[in-house]
């Protein structure tokens, strides 16, 4: 049971429970202190009141350290976690309120887009879930959910807006005419359209993974929100993709032995020279998927090429032109 100590004109409420550090708070009225004691003791019993002094940044550092020891963590994921960990060293488990999180955003991520802040919050949530299960840390989920909802309503966090960019007939030709690279970027562009692969996936495919009899190729470790390491997929080599492969010199294990960052940098130079700065290399994936639907392939058939597991994910990439229905 908590106790109340009168100090001058205020009342100091003190709660001491075994297995939990003391909790105190001052009030102007004794009745308010009694209500707070009852609510706080209930929260402690329900494991809803977090321990004070536990840094979110500290939990994230531990998460990175211990997760790497048992599971492979991609370079991008580790970089993202470390970025958030650095900004949360002064954010504590017992202060995950909307006000405090907005203060944290304004201090460390003022220029970040709502979708970026949402991604940082998701990283924090992943660490909190792990801390609760593996390290017996009391997480104030009620406050956390309330804070996330408030931040979303205020526009501090938000989901990424889907892109609906399709290429006009002459735009890709214009980009190809403005190439200034030793990379076979024109072939890579056409290969991306026919296979719907991402740049990193294109740069990973190997000669040994081609099945010429079935006209298929194996994509290793294809990007997936949950399956990080074992998501290997076989896709058909549609269109001119096999002919494009056969034009490449067989000097490495990889068919396109280039760094995906170099490929995208060459793309950015060409698009800028062509006056099409609003395009992205990833738009080729959107374009390729949309074209497959326009050619009459079914959802299930397109999913074999794109690698999507559900229609909800696939439809984000599906931007059909109204005139294509006249086929």
More confident call, 325 vs 212:
212
> Tens digits of per-residue pLDDT, 19-65?
667 778 888 888 988 887 887 777 767 666 666 678 999 999 999 99
**What does the H/E/C string look like for the chain?**
CCEEEEECCEEEEEEEECCEEEEEEEECCHHHHHHHHHHHHHHHHCCCCCCCCCEHHHHHHHHHHHHHHHCCCCHHHHHHHHHHHHHCCCCEHHHCCHHHHHHHHHHHCCCCCHHHHHHHHHHHHHHHHHHHHHHCCCCCHHHHHHHHHHHHHCCCCCCCCCCCCCCCCCHHHHHHCCCCCCCCHHHHHHHHHHHCCCHHHHCCCEHHHEECCCCEEEECCCCCCCCCCCCCEEEECCCCHHHHHHCCCCCCCECCCCCHHHHHHHHHHHHHHCCCCCCCCCHHHHHHHHHHHHCCCCHHHHHHHHCCCCHHHHHHHCCCCHHHHHC
- What per-residue confidence (pLDDT) applies to 74? 74
Domain 171-326 has CATH 3.20.20.30: no
pLDDT in tens, 284-312: 999 999 999 888 888 889 999 988 887 77
Domain boundaries, the chain: 3-45, 56-153, 171-326
Residues 79-123: pLDDT tens digits? Answer: 889 999 999 999 998 888 889 999 999 999 988 989 999 999 999
Q: Which pLDDT belongs to residue 1?
A: 65
């Amino acid at each position: 049971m908590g106790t109340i100590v009168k100090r001058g004109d205020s009342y100091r409420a003190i709660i001491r429970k075994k297995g939990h550090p003391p909790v105190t708070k001052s009030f102007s009225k004794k009745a308010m202190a009694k209500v707070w004691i009852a609510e706080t003791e209930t929260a402690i019993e329900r494991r809803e009141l977090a321990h004070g002094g536990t840094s979110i940044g500290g939990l994230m550092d531990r998460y990175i350290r211990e997760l790497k020891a048992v599971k492979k963590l991609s370079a991008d994921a580790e970089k993202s976690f470390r970025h958030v960990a650095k900004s949360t060293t002064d954010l504590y488990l017992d202060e995950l309120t909307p006000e405090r999180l907005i203060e944290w955003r304004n201090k460390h991520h003022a220029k970040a887009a709502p979708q970026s802040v949402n991604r940082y919050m998701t990283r924090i949530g992943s660490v909190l879930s792990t801390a609760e299960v593996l390290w017996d840390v009391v997480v104030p989920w009620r406050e956390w959910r309330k804070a996330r909802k408030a931040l979303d309503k205020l526009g501090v966090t938000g989901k990424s807006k889907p892109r609906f960019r399709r290429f006009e007939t002459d735009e890709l030709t214009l980009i190809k005419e403005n190439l200034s690279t030793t990379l076979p970027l024109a072939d890579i562009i056409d290969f991306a359209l026919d296979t719907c692969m991402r740049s990193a996936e294109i740069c990973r495919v190997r000669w040994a993974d081609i099945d010429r009899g079935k006209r298929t190729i194996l994509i290793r470790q294809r990007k997936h929100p949950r399956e990080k390491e074992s998501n290997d997929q076989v896709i058909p080599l549609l269109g001119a993709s096999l002919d494009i492969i056969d034009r490449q010199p067989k000097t490495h294990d990889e068919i396109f032995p280039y760094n995906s960052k170099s490929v995208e940098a060459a793309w950015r130079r060409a698009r800028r020279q062509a006056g099409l700065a609003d395009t992205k290399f990833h738009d080729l994936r959107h374009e390729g998927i949309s074209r497959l639907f326009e050619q009459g392939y079914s959802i299930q058939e397109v999913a074999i090429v794109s690698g999507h597991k559900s229609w909800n994910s696939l439809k984000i990439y599906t931007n059909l032109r109204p005139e294509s229905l006249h086929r």
